[in-house]
Amino acid sequence: MRSTQVSLHLGEAFLGVLGAYFHCLEAQASTVERTANAVLSRALALIARDPDFGLAALAERLNVSGRTLRRHFRAIGETASRRFLTARLQIARARLIDARAASGAAHVGTLAFESGFNDLSYFYREFRTKYGVPPGR
């Protein structure tokens, strides 16, 4: 009878230790996840505020390597370059709408360069792909 009680107590102790181990693993994973989310949210905020950053400048500003930054973006199924492009296109579209509302005409090339695009044909192609119409319309 005595050995049955000892076995029972040892089993309970083992399960307690195992539960503590899994709880510790979960806490570590959530800490790593929170850190990754913090880096990603800071990156997204910087891109939204100033899309003229490049990948290297953004990684340096966040104090991570370019590879680490790419891994954080892969977690949301996107690349940093694509996020930069999307932010620049949104800025260009807003500027085109504002310019058309203010004066009725807008010089697309000037607005594209002001939005961070260096290649006008690339801007036209990406704008048409994203919005379905050329920027002149």
Q: At what angle do helices 80-103 and 66-74 cross, to 10 degrees?
A: 80
Q: Is the separation of the CB atoms in 137 and 108 below 8 Å?
A: no
pLDDT for res 21: 65
DSSP 8-state class, residue 77: T
Selection from 92, 101, 100, 96 nearest residue 123 by Cα: 92
pLDDT for res 58: 85
Selection from 109, 102, 113 nearest residue 136 by Cα: 109
Tens of pLDDT, residue by residue over 107-124, are 888 888 888 888 888 988
Structure tokens of 40? 């990603």
Tens of pLDDT, residue by residue over 35-79, are 567 878 888 888 888 777 778 888 888 888 888 888 888 888 888
Give the separation between CA 118 and CA 77, rounded to whole angstroms. 26
Query: Is the pTM for the entire model greater than 0.75?
Result: no
